[in-house]
Structure 1
Amino acid sequence: MRTFRSRTTVLAATGAAVFALSLTACGGDGTGVRSAGGGAGDTTVTVSSSKSAGSSEVVGAAKGSDGAAAQGGKSVGGGASAAAPACTAKDVSLSAARHGGPPYTHIVLTAKNTSGRSCTMTGYPEIQFLESHRENVPPVAKSKPAAPVVLKAGAPAYALVKLSDGGAHEDNEVVTDFSVTLQGGGMAAVAAPGQGGIAVDPAKWATGYWTYELRNGADDF
């Protein structure tokens, strides 16, 4: 009986120790820290268990390999910043230049970020060349970039614009200035390049999306 009682005591003590270790790993109060790995830079998330529903919810901040804390999917530390707001007409300066040689069939619009902060050039420029044609110049889908165009302070974005097929044509009309509306908000008047302005054809004109630079293929139209 003494031997049996001694074994029982040892087993009870062992079970108590294991249970204590389990409580220590879980924080002792039902909360704990779970790690996605054991190395440096692994994602660590603090998890709180719901006693009533038996579910878990994230109550802490996740840290990525760069050490930046993230909340709600947005970085609040030293890593990548939250998405930049859309550029408005007040945030950029717009200008136009001829593209290629004669016959001049295209121009390039440049939008330079003058806001002093980062902003995102949204979509494409909404252009109206003629007061008699109230619809905007249509965009070319293949020119749309794969990712948003985020401009740092002082950085430019570009959009290629087709005016006509070139040459003298009865449907061409001369334009000395035109309006550009940004999809982020606001409208600006832009002076047409060249002393005599530019000739536009409503049946041929088209515009590309805002991009960091003109790209062969995507911007050929």
Structure 2
Amino acid sequence: MNTLHRSALLAAAGTALVLSLTACQGDGDTKSSPTQGSSVTVESPSGDSGGKGTTGSNGSASPTGSTGSKGSTGSTGTGGSTGTTGSSTSSGSAGSTGSTGEQASASTPVCAARDVHITAATQGGAPYTHIVLTAKNTSRRSCRLTSFPHIQFLESHKQDVPAVAKSKPAGPVVLAAGAPAYALVKLSDGGRDEDNEPVTAFSVMLAGDPTVIAVTAPGSEGIAVDPAKALTGYWTPELRNDADDF
């Protein structure tokens, strides 16, 4: 009796186990197995210099049904650098004013005979073909010398000595009180020439003033002048090798 009862219990238990396994297999066919989470990329909007990070993918489900680990959040992109402000342009330089000499010449009176003292000295060595005239401003104010000295060496030759155009200065010659100006004068071609005449004194006039200034010739015996070869330069603040070479 006990043996039959145990066998019946074992048979019932086996049948229940088979039915349970069959039900589990049928239920597994109707449900899909868990899949891995797919990753999603978020694009940054156009024109945004700092891109946003991508969203992390969901972790895969574990066999025991536990929730997968959450993906790490992408780092925020760095902002673009701020543009440098353009440098401001410098203002144009103001126009330069005229030179002091030009400004002074507009209101500076012309030198008269009473304003200057004129002397003569030989230039270079023998045969002393040139002399240098020096006009010193002896007044107490500035004045300007214009043009060239009007020279007459001989009483028998009343024409002024011609001027050399290349010796003309670029600007006005303004003499401060006590300042000098110079004019180079050619006497002859040199040597003993029958056309040369001895001169111990001669006359000089300034442009714009009819006053005759008597100038003593340099040297104890005076100078030898050839009226046909004589030339004079313009008044200049200093003698120049090129312009005054004649």
TM-score tier (shorter):
0.5 to 0.7
CA distance in 1, matches of 2:117, 2:140: 12
* Stretches (4+) displaced over 2 A: 80-83
Q: Which has the higher helix share?
A: 2
Candidates 128, 135, 139, aligned match of 1:115? 139
What's the counterpart of residue 200 of structure 1? 225
- Paired letter, 2:153: F
Once the 2 structures are TM-superposed, how far is the Cα of residue 65 of structure 1 from its aligned partner? 8.0
Give yes or no for contact 1:121–1:184 (8 Å, CA) kept in 2.
Answer: no
- Give secondary structure in 2 for the equivalent of 1:167: coil
The 1-side partners of 2:237 and 2:177 are apart by 14
Report the equivalent of 1:19.
Answer: none
Aligned to 2:150: 126
Report the equivalent of 1:143. Answer: 167
What stretches of structure 2 of length at least 5 have no aligned partner? 1-90
* CA distance in structure 2 between the aligned counterparts of 1:121 and 1:214, rounded to whole angstroms: 15
**Distance across 2 between alignment mates of 1:153 and 1:101:** 31
Deviations 1:156-209 (A, max 9, x none): 000000000111110000000000000031220000000000000011100000
**In structure 1, distance between residues paired with 2:207 and 2:167:** 16
Partner in structure 1 of residue 194 of structure 2: 170
State the match for 2:237 in structure 1: 212
Q: Aligned-residue CA RMSD in angstroms?
A: 2.4
Q: Structure 1 residue 182 and structure 2 residue 206: aligned?
A: yes
Letter in 2 for 1:214: L
Give the residue type in structure 2 aligned to 1:110.
T
CA contact (8 A) 1:97 1:107 kept: yes
1:83 aligns with 2:114: no
Asked if the contact 1:140–1:206 (Cα under 8 Å) also holds between the matched residues in 2, the reply is yes
Other structure's SS at 1:90 match: helix
Structure 2 CA distance for aligned equivalents of residues 183 and 65 of structure 1: 32
Greater fraction of residues in strand: 1
Distance 1:168 1:145 in 2: 33
Instruction: State the secondary structure of the residue aligned to 1:103.
Output: coil
Residue-pair matches, total: 153
- Which ranges of structure 1 fall in alignment gaps of 5 or more residues? 1-38, 43-63, 67-72
Cα distance in 2 for partners of 1:84, 1:152 equals 10
> Could you tell me how far 1:83 is from its partner in structure 2?
3.0
SS at match of 2:114: coil
